[in-house]
Amino acid sequence: MNRKWIRYIGLCLCIWLVPSLAAAHTHLKQSTPSDGETVSQPVQKLTLVFEERIEQGGSVELRDEAGHTLKPSSVKVQGDTLEATLGPALPDGHYTAKWKIIGLDGHPMQGSFHFEVKAGKTSAGQKPSPVPKQQPTPHHDQHAAPVKRSTSSPVIWVVAILVLSTAVIVGWLFWRKPKA
Amino acid sequence: MIAWVQTLAETMAVTCLALLTGGALLSLVADDYKPVVILPHRLFPLVALIAGLGSFVPVLRLVLFLEPDTGCMEAVRLGVFLSRTGQVWLGLLVVSVLLALFLQVRDVRSSKWTAGWALFGTWMLILIKSWMGHVASVSDISGWVLQSVHLTSVCVWAGGLMVVGFFTVDTARWLSFLRWFTPTAIGCVTAVILAGWGLMGTVDPEYVASWVLPYGEALLLKQWMTAGVLVTAGVNGGWIRRKLARGEEVNPLPWMRAEAVQILLVVAITAWMSQEAAPHTVAETVQAVGVSPLFEGLFPGKWYPGLRAEWQGYLLGGLLVLWALILLAMIPLLYRQRRSAYGAVWLAGLAACAGFVGVLVWAYGG
């Protein structure tokens, strides 16, 4: 009896040995400043609008070119909108905003977008860079076009494994003497 | 790591819900219409607790996600007490603790009233658990109703099978049990499939395109696995029944158990799906989480934005699907030759893998 139970449980465990991925559900719909935008007004506020309503506890932080992190002075979540107040207006430069939220379906999400500020305000001790900066490309998770490999298709291997396991299992099941 | 924990905990929660449902249901049925089932009294309070506790992982995920930014206490406050998921889980926990206490004090077999209340409490748990799910959050009421029907039917069907399969000590009156259980099971299967179809329309409208995502793939595998369950169910409700009606000697329990284990595997696949991104729009979801490693593994470099299924790989794909069907047809053969019922689980699993790869190759491998 005990061995039976162990075999049943072992079977059930087989299926749990699957690799996993991060889940993602509620995506960013739009933001102010938007991704890749160059803003000529002083920026004191970030507004992020998501596809669905989001839970309390979302956060956003900014990173400038030098890698300094700026945390907003206050964050307000209302419905599908996250509003972050920055306090003083941002000095000119390139920024990356990293956001983390929880969708209403309970799935955590994170992402980022870039923008540039050109409002003629420089921070103390920072010279405006004379070299025109490259426009940051809008940042999406772009999958680079993969190189076609000329290996034999993995499908063949999968089929081979299937043939083998079929042979083993069917053989094992039908070869033995049936119970009278 | 946490995905495994969630899959395991979620599977246990649903299994416990099914056990509770099956136990309460069979306690309600008069003795003349069921085999001799001995339910361990100690089991049920524990099972009721696990049914509530098992769903904690989604909440834990939120707390772990918030913790680096907000600190531990604040993360718990936001994740457990202020988020929708956390609040629903708290409700589930309260009901499951109450049910566990009730079952600890009163044995579920003691009276029809106790069994009735236990069944009602279990159904409450099922309804709350359905409310916790993804579907209910995107399309409030209709999604919740569909999810509830789906889960209730699974619990009645799998619960009846498990309780009878694992706790029967004497198979007397088996036929009079099947007389009501077979139609019930058929009704449940129909409800499961119809509700599942409705859920697909909400969560996975681009069904074929979603096979490039883990969620869609799991769904396809789950459907193949369900096909195997139906074949085993046919053996149970058809052949074994006829044989017994003719007065022949046959032990129905191993086949019952085989069917129960197959359903549990389907439940496990579903549990795994619950923590994957639901592909409302496939293109966007792929952009967010990428193509599934499995798809990339089978067809390296195949995916590009705008890829459509062409159904060109019909030769190899068709062969694999045919092979899967042959494997499924071997399940009745196992029974006919009086071989191990347990082999049905292996055959069904293998058929699901072959059919799954076959359909993918058929659609995308051309």
User: What is the rounded CA–CA span in Å between residue B49 and residue B54?
Assistant: 8
| pLDDT tens digits along B210-238 | 999 999 999 999 999 999 999 999 999 99
Would you call A179 and B289 a contact, using CB atoms and an 8 Å cutoff? no
Residue B278 region by backbone torsions, left for phi larger than 0, else alpha for psi between -120 and 50, else beta: beta
In this prediction, residues B116-129 reach a mean pLDDT of: 96
Residues in chain A closer than 8 A to B301 (CB atoms): 146-149
* φ, ψ of residue A93 in degrees (nearest 5): 145, 180
- The pLDDT assigned to A11 comes to 47
**What rounded mean pLDDT belongs to chain B?**
92
Q: What is the separation of C-alpha B336 from the centre of its chain, rounded to a whole number of angstroms?
A: 28
Helix axes B2-28, B112-132, angle to 10 degrees: 150
Range of B52-56, B293-297, B354-358 with top mean pLDDT: B354-358
Q: Quick one: what percent of chain B has pLDDT higher than 90?
A: 72
Tokens 């405006």 locate to A128
B257/A contact by beta carbon, under 8 A: yes
Q: Quick one: what percent of chain B has pLDDT higher than 70?
A: 99
In this prediction, residues A62-67 reach a mean pLDDT of: 88
- What is the band of A108 on the pLDDT scale with cuts at 50, 70, 90? confident
- The pLDDT assigned to A1 comes to 47
Who has greater pLDDT, B299 or A26?
A: B299
Would you call B338 and A180 a contact, using CB atoms and an 8 Å cutoff? yes
B189, two tokens: 């299967």
- The pLDDT assigned to B236 comes to 93
- The pLDDT assigned to A15 comes to 37
- What is the band of B285 on the pLDDT scale with cuts at 50, 70, 90? confident
Would you call B4 and A16 a contact, using CB atoms and an 8 Å cutoff? yes
CB pairs under 8 A between A and B: 172
Closest C-alpha among B213, B226, B174 to residue B36: B174
Would you call A57 and B75 a contact, using CB atoms and an 8 Å cutoff? yes
**What rounded mean pLDDT belongs to chain A?**
74
Who has greater pLDDT, B102 or B142?
A: B102
Q: Which residues, 6+ apart, have CB-to-CB distance to A159 below 8 Å?
A: B316, B320, B357
- The pLDDT assigned to B169 comes to 93
Evaluate the CA torsion angle B355, B357, B362, B364 in order and state its sign. positive
Q: Is the pLDDT of residue A24 over 70?
A: no
Closest C-alpha among A24, A105, A79 to residue B138: A105
Q: Is the pLDDT of residue A109 over 70?
A: yes
* φ, ψ of residue B114 in degrees (nearest 5): -60, -45
In this prediction, residues B315-337 reach a mean pLDDT of: 95
- What single string gives the DSSP state of each residue in B291-339? S-HHHHHHSTT---TT-------HHHHHHHHHHHHHHHHHHHHHHHTT-
- Shortest alpha-carbon distance between residue B117 and chain A (Å): 30
- What is the band of A6 on the pLDDT scale with cuts at 50, 70, 90? low
Residues in chain A closer than 8 A to B2 (CB atoms): 20
Q: What is the separation of C-alpha A133 from the centre of its chain, rounded to a whole number of angstroms?
A: 27
- The pLDDT assigned to B308 comes to 86
- The pLDDT assigned to A128 comes to 44
Evaluate the CA torsion angle B272, B276, B282, B286 in order and state its sign. negative
User: What is the rounded CA–CA span in Å between residue B34 and residue B26?
Assistant: 8
- The pLDDT assigned to B261 comes to 96
| pLDDT tens digits along B126-154 | 999 999 887 877 776 889 999 999 999 99
B362: closest chain A residue by CA? A155
B12/A contact by beta carbon, under 8 A: no
Q: Is the pLDDT of residue A42 over 70?
A: yes
CB nearest A27 (choices: B284, B304, B343): B284
| pLDDT tens digits along B71-85 | 899 999 999 999 989
Tokens 């699957």 locate to A18
User: What is the rounded CA–CA span in Å between residue B236 and residue B334?
Assistant: 13
- The pLDDT assigned to A140 comes to 43
- Which amino acid is it at A148? K
- What is the band of A67 on the pLDDT scale with cuts at 50, 70, 90? confident
Task: Report the range of poorest mean pLDDT among A5-19, A163-177, B131-145, B255-269.
Answer: A5-19
Query: For chain A, what's the residue count?
Result: 180
Cβ atoms of B295 and B217 closer than 8 Å = yes
Cβ atoms of B3 and B272 closer than 8 Å = yes
User: What is the rounded CA–CA span in Å between residue B148 and residue B167?
Assistant: 27
CB atoms within 10 A of CB B116: 13
Q: Is the pLDDT of residue B288 over 80?
A: no
Cβ atoms of B211 and B295 closer than 8 Å = yes
Residues in chain A closer than 8 A to B365 (CB atoms): 153, 155
B292/A contact by beta carbon, under 8 A: yes
User: What is the rounded CA–CA span in Å between residue B54 and residue B50?
Assistant: 5
